[in-house]
Amino acid sequence: MKKVAIIGAGISGLYLANVFNNNPEFDYRVFEKREDFNFSKGYGIQLSVNSIKLLNKIGFKNLPASEVFFPSKVNFIQSNNSKKICDIDLNQFNDNLNRYTTTKRSTLLKFLSKNIPNNKIKFNKTLNHLDYADDIKAYFSDKSQENFDIIVIADGVFSKSKFIISKESLKPEYNNSVALRGILKKYQDNNISIFMGSNFHYVVYPVNQNNEYNFVAILQKKLTNSDLNNEKIFQSKDFINSLMKILNNNSSVNLQNLTEIQAFPIFVSKSFPVTNKKNIFFSGDALFSFPPSFAQGASQSIETAQEIFESIISNSDNLYKERISRIYSINWRSKLNIFTFHLSNPINIFIRNIILKYLSKNKIFLKNYLGKIYKN
């Protein structure tokens, strides 16, 4: 029986724990920095069919229908006048069993944690050091130590554990943008709507069948290092209000009903962690974190975790070759999306809207730009 340590009980780590849980050849443990799961926030997550296919295999399809939503379109809307430019039909990427899904992040995490026995998850623990011999000796923050055959690093975008393995400078970079998240009630829309403004965009979508909507805005914002190191800035009412003012002044949607608003800086990866150790893997945002404009971070975290499992089972070396090429294709799409959504010059906006109208109905483009990513 192989012993596996998964560092981080987020989307990637917990998905992988489920896969190991269904496979008695492995004895796994999940080590999580927090003292418990954080199910309190109601923010949303979009899951495209590539990850839904994998999630359904571990029982996601059995969740009560009221806790998920299946949007059928993505609407592109000009923020200042709420004029719809075009839409993309998401049904073309679905099949009979797997559909593009939106839900609450907490619903996904509750689902992923439900089948993991309590004794398999160790809270309040971080990795301090590794020693390599026949197996890998892991030393933890509470001074405990344990031997493992395989270590999977899945501790998110600010992964500290990857520095223990890959000594290079792998710090994520500030993406010159800030995210605002909130819950929108008293709103009516059965689709995902992307509102495009000058140097910002925001996305609204239902997260369940109870009229709760996720709101997420990405606004360009230059910040100094000292701002970025000061968490209090992002919690301050003045900072949040100044961002909301930009949105309210440039949007014809009533955002007054927005609750639970939170601001945080967006950090993205510039490079990949490397190791010559065969039994060490990086998954999810710890491997690579994208700008959040293609809604693929969580889906890719799930895909990577699945590929890590398959690579362990088949003893293959191909994991990162294929993964890195997929990461490149998602990363440039995410950057192109942000550029397109945030245009501010009226002539550029006019041209963009014509191009969007054309491309949103062009089957070949959609197959290449979205289909390639959604159908893994």
Ligand X SMILES: Cc1cc2nc3c(=O)[nH]c(=O)nc-3n(C[C@H](O)[C@H](O)[C@H](O)COP(=O)(O)OP(=O)(O)OC[C@H]3O[C@@H](n4cnc5c(N)ncnc54)[C@H](O)[C@@H]3O)c2cc1C
Residue of the chain from 150, 152, 154, 164 that contacts ligand X (CB under 6 A): 154
Q: Which residue is nearest to ligand X (CB)?
A: 10
Cβ-based nearer residue to ligand X, 86 or 284 = 284
Cβ-based nearer residue to ligand X, 220 or 353 = 220
Q: Is 85 exposed, middle or buried (0-12, 13-18, 19+ CB in 10 A)?
A: middle
Q: Which two tokens stand for residue 55?
A: 């999630």
Instruction: Count CB atoms within 10 A of the CB of residue 366.
Output: 18
Instruction: Count CB atoms within 10 A of the CB of residue 311.
Output: 18
Cβ-based nearer residue to ligand X, 11 or 308 = 11
Which is nearest to 201 in space by CA: 184, 178, 183? Answer: 178
Q: Does 112 bind ligand X (CB under 6 A)?
A: no
Q: Is 83 exposed, middle or buried (0-12, 13-18, 19+ CB in 10 A)?
A: exposed
Cβ-based nearer residue to ligand X, 336 or 354 = 336
Cβ-based nearer residue to ligand X, 127 or 150 = 127
Residue of the chain from 6, 7, 258, 280 that contacts ligand X (CB under 6 A): 7
Which is nearest to 344 in space by CA: 221, 217, 198, 200? Answer: 198
Q: Which stretch binds ligand X (CB under 6 A): 19-27, 114-122, 269-277, 278-286?
A: 278-286
Binding mask 12-31 for ligand X (x = CB under 6 A): xx-----------------x
Q: Does 243 bind ligand X (CB under 6 A)?
A: no
Cβ-based nearer residue to ligand X, 86 or 121 = 121
**3-state SS assignment for residue 136:** strand
Taking the mean position of all CA atoms in its chain, how far away is CA 268? 11
Which is nearest to 161 in space by CA: 2, 245, 41, 287? Answer: 287
Binding mask 78-97 for ligand X (x = CB under 6 A): --------------------
Q: Which stretch binds ligand X (CB under 6 A): 17-25, 58-66, 151-159, 359-367?
A: 151-159
Residue of the chain from 94, 161, 177, 306 that contacts ligand X (CB under 6 A): 161
Residue of the chain from 5, 19, 77, 179 that contacts ligand X (CB under 6 A): 179
- Stated length of the chain: 376
Q: Among residue numbers 284 through 323, which ones bind ligand X (CB under 6 A)? A: 284-286, 292, 295-299, 301
Question: Distance (Å, rounded) from C-alpha 115 to C-alpha 166?
Answer: 32
User: What are the start-end ranges of the H helices in 44-96?
Assistant: 49-57
Q: Which two tokens stand for residue 251?
A: 């949007």
What is the nearest approach in angstroms of ligand X to the Cβ of residue 333?
A: 13
Q: Which two tokens stand for residue 209?
A: 């069948």
Q: Binding residues for ligand X, per CB under 6 A?
A: 7-13, 31-34, 45-46, 126-127, 154-156, 160-161, 179, 216, 266, 284-286, 292, 295-299, 301
